């Protein structure tokens, strides 16, 4: 498992969200893709932040309470983002996820989002290794 890198299992066509769209639109995209979070990027693909389900819930709950549902992603996203590089080994990436309580990690190369690593994908690969005949 040490030989596996993020590049081997990342989603190479990840959902990215524009900072200039509404939170409601972004949440619909997250739900459709069954993601708990997605990177927020500018027009050039540079990472600006991340929008999680929790960020969106805060925005919609508060917005609904105050009857202000038009909030932009840029106002609700988290700007402190844990990331990994494509050549990061799987064990190190899993440690970043666990240490920082993240379900999703943007994969960044030279400031650009090039992929997405999910905890679900990491667990799937681990389970495949456990279930393989060579492991038993």
DSSP output for 46-69: BEEEEEEHHHHHHHHHHHHHTT--
Mean pLDDT of 83-104: 96
pLDDT in tens, 20-65: 998 888 999 999 999 999 999 999 989 999 999 888 877 666 555 4
Query: Distance between CA 37 and CA 16 in Å, rounded?
Result: 10
Which residues lie across from 22 on neighbouring strands?
Answer: 72
Q: Tokens for 121?
A: 């994908």
Helices (H) and strands (E) in the chain, counts: 6, 5
What confidence score (pLDDT) does residue 86 get?
98
What confidence score (pLDDT) does residue 15 get?
96
Report whether 91 contacts 99 (CB < 8 A): no
Mean pLDDT of 60-86: 78
What confidence score (pLDDT) does residue 23 get?
87
Considering the chain, what is the average pLDDT of its residues?
88
What confidence score (pLDDT) does residue 66 get?
45
The three-class DSSP label of residue 89 is strand
What confidence score (pLDDT) does residue 60 get?
66
What confidence score (pLDDT) does residue 64 get?
52
Q: Is 36 exposed, middle or buried (0-12, 13-18, 19+ CB in 10 A)?
A: middle
What confidence score (pLDDT) does residue 96 get?
97
What confidence score (pLDDT) does residue 65 get?
47
Higher pLDDT, 72 or 29: 29
Higher pLDDT, 110 or 2: 110
> Regarding beta strands 17-18 and 37-41, do their DSSP bridges make them parallel or antiparallel, or are they unpaired?
parallel
Query: Distance between CA 51 and CA 83 in Å, rounded?
Result: 14
What confidence score (pLDDT) does residue 62 get?
55
Count Cβ neighbours within 10 Å for each residue of 59-75 and write b for 16 or more, e otherwise.
Answer: bbeebeeeeeeebbbbe
In the predicted structure, residue 111 carries a pLDDT above the cut 50: yes
């Amino acid at each position: 498992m040490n030989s596996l890198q993020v590049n081997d299992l990342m989603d190479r066509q990840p959902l990215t969200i524009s900072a200039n769209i509404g939170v409601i639109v972004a949440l619909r995209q997250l739900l459709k893709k069954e993601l708990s979070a997605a990177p927020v990027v500018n027009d050039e693909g540079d990472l600006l932040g991340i929008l999680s389900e929790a960020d969106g819930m805060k925005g919609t709950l508060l917005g609904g309470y105050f009857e202000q549902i038009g909030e932009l992603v840029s106002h609700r996203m988290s700007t402190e983002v844990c990331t990994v590089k494509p050549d990061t080994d799987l064990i190190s990436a899993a440690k970043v996820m666990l240490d920082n309580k993240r379900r999703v990690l943007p994969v960044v190369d030279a400031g650009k989002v090039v992929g997405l690593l999910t905890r679900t994908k990491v667990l799937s690969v681990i389970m495949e290794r456990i279930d393989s005949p060579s492991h038993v």
